Structure 1
Amino acid sequence: MRLAFKIALRFLTSSKGQTALIAIGIAVGISVQIFIGSLIEGLQVSLLDATIGSASQITVNPEEKNTPIDDLQDIENWLTETYDEITAITPTLTQGGFLKIGDNTEQVVFRGFDLNKANEIYKFDAAITEGTYTLKENEVILGVDLAKNNNLKIGETYDIITPEGTISALKIVGFFDLKVASINQSWIIGSIDLARDIFDFSSSQGTAIELQISEPFDADLLTEEMTLTSTQKDVKFDNWKVQNEQLLSGLNGQSTSSLMIQVFVVISVVLGIASVLAITVLQKSRQLGILKAMGLNDRTSSFVFLFQGIILGILGGILGIIFGLGLLWSFTKFALNPDGTPVVPIFVNYGFIGLSGLIAVAASTLASIIPAQKSKKLSPIEVIKNG
């Protein structure tokens, strides 16, 4: 084994140009694999964060539409005690109404939250553009577009009218921007206790429980389990996958296309290495013939080319990782939005990068099997006789 390794190293160093060319070829393939894989993963992470990163991933809704959920706190307690996967949970009360602005009224959606809990989902502390989300009594925050379109100011008080005709006064203490136009144009957010007072709900009632989980892609499995184990028969469990089927289909399509590209890149690397090493067998056949005549056995001669494949794979893998990280860095510096942020945020998965390096070694080793087998068949007498 040691002799085979030394001969392989000698063959590689005696043809430095050829060795460098093969290593660079491997590196280019692996760098493309790293770049494409990281780009697609970054795009998916970005899309998921924009879509469900600050939204409910599983929602407990009433079985019968437009009816309240009773015993809201009991259901919340059961969920938090039963499922460790839950990372954030908040009871909500959502109702439509009309905001009276002078002689006009604006149709709005009033959302009552336990704001400390809801902040873990909606990130109000980061979404506030003016004022505060720390609310007292009749205080609320509004979407920036709702405020802008109606020239509403912080500190002013307006009436909200329920569908039943009840009128309640609301004091504006802040504006938020949740990056969704429909939300910014219609939402008024207050405490869940204020919502209960306005819309005449009892202290134990609400319209939903919203939660986020540690693995968003497991939301469908978790909702099935919740449905089976729940003792509350007047509620149902919905998840973001059902509500975002087109997004999920797009993400799956991206993953499949990325995988196909990476597979074909690896195949091209394997074929390239195999062809070059096969030529190397011919180039080094005279030396191999002499070595075999001196006592080098077939097994050792085959290991010469296997070691060459492993060495080339290691060199190519290291260079490929360096090139790939360089491509990712360049992309974040030159492909920019007008505000200077990257067009697609790059998500660096070190596990994937390490796997790509291992794939380089495995592909190179696999490619060396054919020339290794070919070297075993060389007859030292024929090679030396025919030159």
Structure 2
Amino acid sequence: MTITAAADGSALGNPGPAGWAWYVNDDCWRAGGWPHGTNNQGELMAVLDLFRATAHMPAEDLLILCDSQYVINAVTKWMPGWKRKGWRKADGKPVLNVDLLKDIDRELVGRKYTFEWVRGHAGHELNEAADDRARAAATAYQQGVAVRQGPGFGTPEGATEAAPEGAPAQAGPTDSTAPRTAARQAARPATDSAPPQAPRTTPPQAAPSFAGQQELFGAPGPVGEAGPFGRPGVFDEPDLFSELDEEQAGAGAPADISPESVVESLERELLRPETRADLGRTGVLLHPDFTEIGSSGRIWTRDAMLMALEDNPGGPTELELLGADRLGEQTILLTYRTRNRAGSALRSSLWVLEGAQWRLRFHQGTPEA
């Protein structure tokens, strides 16, 4: 028999109040969360708890439906290399969320499992059910009320929650009614040997409103929501797609299509909400060193932009091409005008050829008067 379950995470602010959930059916699901965490931590915790909850059924195949390319790649592709390097990425930087990843790695031993990517927020019944419960858990932490944890598969031994790096510890699954207090918000150590961090004592900065602003490809920032636009330096998630295999970057275009036409087509693709909401595809099109100077004056990194677009991909945007200029054999500058509900803007994008794939290296936009 195969157990089919969706696993999902949610963070209100990213980072912010965070939740996670896995869902098989209305009689078999579980959820939890933390006062402060990220989407990635929630996604990983949902997978970890699903493995723990089914540990008493090791002979059963497990099909995990997940809308996070980061989680799927981390578990199925990147972890062996990270382990060989002492849990460090290819660039030598430490792997974040390492405690959760190590726990998942231990749970995989002797298990038969398959991950399947599903598009989030696209009407997939199991994914939507997991997403609803993960968001409800995050909302409960935001409001300081008890989390509905669900029936689970029973109470298998060891199925307790582990706080991710930088997230406060919380009670195990039996503590379903007591609200979390400030005294329990001491952060876990960032590594197995690191000393515990001091509890958070400074109040979070208020997040400014960015209503009506046009950032990457005309996607407006969220209004009245702490992060991802509220505080600098909160985007401490790993480089989500820094270790994609070459074949994942996409094949080159046919020889009879000019590079300028290819780049224009890719720019138009990035304007579509369905592309911006797809972290896998957007991560391929954005160069690892992507930078944007937004219309607000903020400098955006690639990871920050990926997370912002995941939460708010924006609406449809029209493109009027003004120019496509070759600056070199592997560099093309696009200039164009966009129009959407927020108004019009003049934009420039610098695309570079990396292997067989054109990738966006730099973008800047200026609203028209």
Looking at secondary structure, tell me which structure has more helix per residue: 1
**Higher RCO (Cα < 8 Å, 6 or more apart):** 1
Looking at secondary structure, tell me which structure has more strand per residue: 2
TM-score range, shorter chain: under 0.3
* TM norm structure 1: 0.20
* TM norm structure 2: 0.20
